[in-house]
Structure 1
Amino acid sequence: MLETMQKKDADYEMLKTLIHKNLGFNCEQYKDSHFKRRIDVRLRATNSGTYRDYVKLLQSNSNEYPELMEALTVNVTNFFRNPEVYDVVEKEILPALIKAKGTGLKSIRIWSAGCSIGVEAYSIAMLLHYLLGNDFNKYNIKITGTDIDKDSLLKAQQGIYSGAEMKDVRPAFLSSYFVKEGNNFIVSEELKKVTQFKKQDLISGPKMNGFDAIFCRNVTIYFQKELQEQLYMDFYNALLKDGFFVMGKTETLIGPSKDMFRAYNSKERIYQK
């Protein structure tokens, strides 16, 4: 039995090596339980009984790699997900950022980390446009969405969404910020011009800084504890003074950052530098 387990572990390690080599996806950053759950989706879909069977499949059929990448990075997401968080963002966080800019250079920089298909970045852009109204173009606004999955980033850049992703968009925003084409909704150019999307590995990629607010929700739960600690400090350092950090409802600050951030709204997991 021990020998069988060792073989299984060796096959799993071989699979991780293949994934890292061919997808550039660093498996060691993720909790094993999460990672195995995602891989098991593809084992079932391909009728692979073991990790070894799946390794053989990957070696003989490179078309499986895009399917695997999607399984590893898939996120259930839609505009204004967790509306209670966006309620605080709309009524308190963004107005505070706007007020803090005063009369000088009115530059607002926001980072949507682990942005998936871009709905969070565009949700923030809608709220900013709504709050600023005719003053929107007086501000230099840049909302940067980053992710490791190029297919998700491509969808974000295209800004074309299905009805399911639109379910929490208020009617006034639907008519103001989207063009309906068949069953799809296309983001307006007004929002696209203040958003940008790029590939970025949160752990090993170059560090970013100079942000008024960072949103990283339901991303760090998949990372090992040590990497969570590192990430939260990276976010702290990437924020300007009094900048806001918005995390997922099931996530908790750990490590040095928990003594450095101050809680702004603990219930909604919003913190301030």
Structure 2
Amino acid sequence: MTGSRRTDDALDAADESFEALLRFVRDSRGFDFTGYKRGSLMRRVRHRMDQARCESFDDYLDVLQADSDEFDALFNTILINVTSFFRDADAWNVIAGEVVAGLLAERSPTDPIRVWSAGCATGQEPFTIAMVFAEAMGKEALRQRVKIYATDVDEEALAEARLATYDARQVESVPQALREKYFEHVGGHYAFDKDLRRAVVFGRNDLVKDAPISRVDLLVCRNTLMYFNAETQRNIVKRLHFALGPRGTLFLGHAEMLLSHTERFTALDLPNRVFRKAAGTHVTVERGDLVASPVERHGDLPGLQGVRELAFRASPVAQLVVTGDDTVAMINHQAEALFGLTGRDVGRLLRDLEVSYRPVELRTYVDRARTERRSARIQDVRWQQPGADPVWFEVHVNPLIDAADGFAGVSIVFFDVTATKALLDKVVQTNHQLETAYEELQSTNEELETTNEELQSTVEELETTNEELQSTNEELETMNEELQSTNDELHTINDALTERGMQLDEAKIFSDSLINSIRLGLVVVDQQLRVAVWNRGCEELWGLRTEEAIGQALLDLDVGLPTEDLKPLIGAAFVDPDASGEAVVDTFNRRGKPTRVRVTCSAFHTTGFGVTGAMLLMEVVAQ
């Protein structure tokens, strides 16, 4: 027995140490895990303790107090972000084919649509929602009408979700057609469509303590509730119920049910965990039922009945009492003033009075109280009197049970809740304004983050462009240096060519002088027998100037030159470069005087090109 007691004491001490650990995490970092299921939560903490080599929760608490980085490892272990695109494909088919299609059919083409993905992890779930709506209504309509709020308690997961970039394994569950349509394959990763990405607003929200997003048409909260204990689940479901607008749809995971909230939701598709907010359910101010119960009396005071009647008639709350046979037994002053009743109406049947059906039909509730002996509470009853502001009532119809457990009658009480309703409407309106301001702030923050990312991208592009310009500038400088060097070389070559040209001009002058100094006639022809050289001796012999002879065919010159006798000599010079032929011809000189001329013909050699023509020397010989 003593050993068992020690074991129980040790377990109690471990539980207290664990609770102290959770309180420290809550107070120091704002993460409240006290509502999580203890079994699974303790297993995850112990898993992290094993990695940190801690034996007890107290030891691990010391590690958390000393090492702030250990918090991140602990949160990543506890907040298991298991998610994927189109997880449970059959359930998503129901959402696309029934919920989204029905939602669009009920709305006009311009009505806004609000969606909340609670516990979105790394973003696959809200992006799945975006693709479903885009397929149903088109990308442009989605951008204009649909706002998807994606929240999670894990900031690290939200940061990853905002990038909207996934590897090939993560997008395997996306149908091929949608993957090609809504993802861009870049560098081994898949980036989600930017237009659809702008429809999703990411933000941190703790389902346990933060205010829910309101007026939601579709609320997706899958495989999140199962991590919390029953009481925390009830509180969260109340928040989710409040977040939904009229006829709003709640989409849960396969492992989750609404066993304790069947009055708040109706099942649209129970196997796939799709529920709709029940009609007429909304947050109200709770008020205890006024059910009469037997009271033990310790004596009967004199005149007590009269006091009771006076107290009843002076009550500030309008009230009627009806007997078991539907006869009006009592009416107080407030009821008379409100509904135009008088003392003469006592004893009449309730169904004969206007108050039985105005401002609300009472007869059904009275009959139910009589037959079922159950109280009824009728909320939001509006009473409009001519020329006055409307009054709001909450009507209680309570059966009156006597000491012998017999049915004595029915009490009908009209509670004036006009001020309360106005205050509640004001609170709801203020809450809506706060929610709207919070959503706009989230949206603005999201847009600022997106703008910051775009600016960072622009800065990176500008830095890359600057580096490229610097590299180009360096290349241009190198090319400039090469061009300068080439220019210097060209100057050197030009100087050399200029000097060479001067030398060539001098050589040409010398060559022309040499040729013209020869007293004999000198003719050089090319291989087409065109005159290339015609010296001054030829001018004096034949009377044809050099500029008239150069370029002309030798055989076509009409100067008295016996060209027929020269053809064999020129032909032999072309055939045998080493041969030299001679002929003496009789002809007439430029003055028409008969002259005998000796013509010597040899091959004309050009350095590097061989025989390029024939050279003829003409000498006048004595007759």
Shorter-normalised TM-score: what interval? over 0.9
SS at match of 2:177: helix
Are 1:128 and 1:136, in contact at CA under 8 Å, matched by a contact in 2? Answer: no
SS at match of 2:263: helix
Are 2:36 and 2:227, in contact at CA under 8 Å, matched by a contact in 1? Answer: yes
Distance 1:138 1:197 in 2: 16
Alignment of 1:89-108 (within 5 A): 89-103=95-109, 105-108=110-113
Q: Which amino acid aligns with 2:209?
A: S
- 1:98-146: CA deviation from partner (whole Å, max 9, x where unpaired): 111124x321111001111111100010111112126525741101011
Are 1:110 and 1:211, in contact at CA under 8 Å, matched by a contact in 2? Answer: yes
SS at match of 1:155: helix
- The runs of 5 or more residues in structure 1 that have no matched partner are none
Match of 2:205 in 1: 200
Deviation at residue 49 of structure 1 after TM alignment: 2.0
Match of 1:19 in 2: 25
Are 2:126 and 2:200, in contact at CA under 8 Å, matched by a contact in 1? Answer: yes
Q: How many residues align?
A: 271
- 1:55-81: CA deviation from partner (whole Å, max 9, x where unpaired): 122122211111111111112111111
Alignment of 1:124-139 (within 5 A): 124-133=129-138, 136-137=141-142, 139=144
Match of 1:214 in 2: 219
Distance 2:127 2:154 in 1: 18
Match of 2:75 in 1: 69
- 1:239-263: CA deviation from partner (whole Å, max 9, x where unpaired): 12211111111111033x3122111
**Is the aligned partner of 1:151 residue 2:156?**
yes
Task: Select the residue among 240, 255, 273 that pairs with 1:235.
Answer: 240
Match of 1:82 in 2: 88
Distance 1:134 1:150 in 2: 28
Are 2:219 and 2:251, in contact at CA under 8 Å, matched by a contact in 1? Answer: yes
Match of 2:490 in 1: none
**Is the aligned partner of 1:267 residue 2:285?**
no
SS at match of 2:201: strand
Alignment of 1:35-54 (within 5 A): 35-54=41-60
Are 1:106 and 1:138, in contact at CA under 8 Å, matched by a contact in 2? Answer: no
Q: What is the TM-score when the length of structure 2 is the normalising length?
A: 0.42
Distance 2:51 2:156 in 1: 20
Q: What is the TM-score when the length of structure 1 is the normalising length?
A: 0.93
Distance 2:196 2:252 in 1: 23
Deviation at residue 25 of structure 1 after TM alignment: 1.1
User: CA 1:176 to 1:226, structure 2 compared with 1: closer, same or farther past 3 Å?
Assistant: same
**Is the aligned partner of 1:119 residue 2:121?**
no
Deviation at residue 208 of structure 1 after TM alignment: 2.1
Match of 1:169 in 2: 174
Distance 2:17 2:74 in 1: 17
User: CA 1:40 to 1:199, structure 2 compared with 1: closer, same or farther past 3 Å?
Assistant: same
Are 1:112 and 1:215, in contact at CA under 8 Å, matched by a contact in 2? Answer: yes
RMSD (CA atoms): 1.7
Distance 1:233 1:119 in 2: 26
Match of 2:183 in 1: 178
Deviation at residue 14 of structure 1 after TM alignment: 2.4
> What's the % identity of the aligned pairs?
27
- Between 131-140 and 15-24, report the one with greater CA deviation: 131-140
User: CA 1:241 to 1:7, structure 2 compared with 1: closer, same or farther past 3 Å?
Assistant: closer
User: CA 1:235 to 1:43, structure 2 compared with 1: closer, same or farther past 3 Å?
Assistant: same
SS at match of 2:212: coil
Distance 1:178 1:9 in 2: 48
Q: Which amino acid aligns with 1:59?
A: Q
SS at match of 1:28: coil
Query: Using CA pairs below 8 Å that are at least 6 residues apart, which structure has the higher relative contact order?
Result: 1
Are 2:116 and 2:219, in contact at CA under 8 Å, matched by a contact in 1? Answer: yes
- 1:183-235: CA deviation from partner (whole Å, max 9, x where unpaired): 32211111111100111111210132111110111111111212212222222
Q: Which amino acid aligns with 1:259?
A: E
Task: Select the residue among 249, 256, 259 that pairs with 1:251.
Answer: 256
Distance 2:87 2:253 in 1: 11
User: CA 1:45 to 1:97, structure 2 compared with 1: closer, same or farther past 3 Å?
Assistant: same
- The runs of 5 or more residues in structure 2 that have no matched partner are 1-5, 278-623
Distance 1:233 1:220 in 2: 12
Are 1:77 and 1:165, in contact at CA under 8 Å, matched by a contact in 2? Answer: no
User: CA 1:135 to 1:186, structure 2 compared with 1: closer, same or farther past 3 Å?
Assistant: closer
SS at match of 1:94: helix
Are 2:212 and 2:240, in contact at CA under 8 Å, matched by a contact in 1? Answer: no
SS at match of 1:263: strand
- Between 164-173 and 14-23, report the one with greater CA deviation: 14-23
User: CA 1:182 to 1:40, structure 2 compared with 1: closer, same or farther past 3 Å?
Assistant: farther
Distance 1:4 1:261 in 2: 44
